Structure 1
Amino acid sequence: MRRVERAFVMLNGTVLVLLLATMSVVVGWNVAGRYLTGNSLTWADEVARYSMIWLTFLGSGLALREGAHAAITNAQDALPTQGQLALRAAILVVMFSFFAFMVWVGIDYMNRMAIQKSAALRVPMKWVYAAMPAGFVLMIVHLALIAPKYWRAGQQHSDEAPLG
């Protein structure tokens, strides 16, 4: 199971690196072209914008895993052990519920945008808005993978940061 989890995390990170590289190359090429030849790519702005949207949502699960989202741990730390366990369980239930709700909202919004197309690329906007449910599904998976350790100890092992 640990090997599958590491492969999942590595795949998620690799996709982020590829998206960031694509965005960087397109923007760099566009800037160079604009200043060297006076011409720019008509679609570069859209590719950069949509890549950033996908980067944000696909990276949010890894940020959750690393404890990079805002968190207030003082209340947890001030409670006795049983209180900490109860609070962490409540936090996990709220997070799972919110993420699932956002998947549902994201799919609904994605379907509403199915007929709209982007201006330059003429890509159906549902594929841009698909980043939201995809990102929240990844957050659910990442949370499910780290939840047992978070609930038991309030912090991850040395190679994983606390959830919150």
Structure 2
Amino acid sequence: MQRLERIFVALNGWALIAMLSAMALIVGANVTLRYLTAHSLPWADEAARYLMIWMTFGGAGLALRVGGHVAITNLQDALPGTGERVLRALIVVTLLAFFGFMVWVGWQYALRMQYQVTPAMRLPFLYVYAAMPVGFGLLILHLLLIARPLITAGKYKRMDGAKAQDTPLRGSANG
């Protein structure tokens, strides 16, 4: 199971690297063409924008794994050990419900937009708006994979697949 998790995290990371690289190449080529030929690629800005949307939703799960999202821990810090674990379990269940709801909402919205096309690339908006349900689906998977150490010890998993971080959530700015 840990091997599958490492593969999943690595694939998610490589997909983000590929999107960032594509975005940099497209924008760089567009700037170069604009200065060398006084013409630009009509689809470059649109492609970069849609890649950024996909990167945002696709990378949210990786940020969640390492405690990269903003969190306020005052209530958790004030509770005794059992209360902390119960609160973290409630937070995980609430997040799973919210993420599941957003998968459903995102998919409904993407389906409604499937017949409209983007102005420059003539790409169905379904592919743009599919970033939302895919991203929230990834958030669900990442949260399920880190739920146990998060609930029991208040620790986040490391990106390299090693054990949970040595620093617990208590007193952290982002945990």
Give the TM-score range, shorter chain: over 0.9
C-alpha distance in 2 between matches for 1:151 and 1:158: 14
Other-structure match for 1:112: 112
Q: Give matches, 1:23-102, under 5 Å.
A: 23-102=23-102
| Structure 1 pair 69–123 and aligned structure 2 pair: CA distance change class (3 A) | same
Residue 89 of structure 1 and its aligned partner are, at CA, apart by: 1.0
Q: CA deviation digits over 1:66-113, x for unaligned, max 9?
A: 111101122212210111111011101110000000000000000010
Q: Measure, in 1, the Cα distance between the counterparts of 2:154 and 2:88.
A: 7
User: Do the aligned partners of 1:65 and 1:161 also contact (CA within 8 Å) in 2?
Assistant: no
The answer on whether the counterparts of 1:106 and 1:129 sit within 8 Å (CA) in structure 2 is yes
Query: Residue type of the partner of 1:158?
Result: Q
Which residue pairs with 2:165 in the alignment? 158
* Paired residues of 1:53 and 1:131 also in contact (CA < 8 A): yes
* 2: CA distance, partners of 1:19 / 1:28: 14
For 1:161 and 1:5, the matched residues in 2 are separated by 22
Q: Percent identity?
A: 55
Cα distance change on mapping 1:108 and 1:34 into 2, 3 Å: same
CA distance in 2, matches of 1:115, 1:161: 48
**Structure 1 residues 161, 139: CA separation in 2 closer, same or farther (over 3 Å shift)?**
farther
Q: Is the 8 A contact 2:154 2:168 kept in 1?
A: no
* Count of residues in Structure 1 that have an aligned counterpart in Structure 2: 164
1:161 Cα shift?
Answer: 8.0
1:127 aligned partner: 127
After superposition, give the CA deviation of every residue in 1:36-90 in whole Å (9 maximum; x if it has no partner).
1101001101110000000000000001111111011222122101111110111
Distance 1:152 1:158 in 2: 13
Partner of 2:137: 137
**Structure holding more helix per residue:** 1
- What code does the residue aligned with 1:128 have? V
Give, in angstroms, the shift of residue 27 of structure 1.
0.2
Q: Note the alpha carbon deviations across 1:12-38, whole angstroms, 9 max, x for none.
A: 000000000000000000011101110
Unaligned runs of 5+ in 2: 157-163
Q: Determine if contact 2:53/2:131 at 8 Å carries over to the other structure.
A: yes
Structure 1 length normalisation: TM-score? 0.96
Q: In structure 1, what is the equivalent of residue 148 of structure 2? A: 148
- Give, in whole Å, the separation in 2 of the partners of 1:159 and 1:55: 28
Within 1, Cα distance between the matches of 2:52 and 2:167? 25
Give runs of ≥4 in structure 1 deviating > 3 Å. 159-164
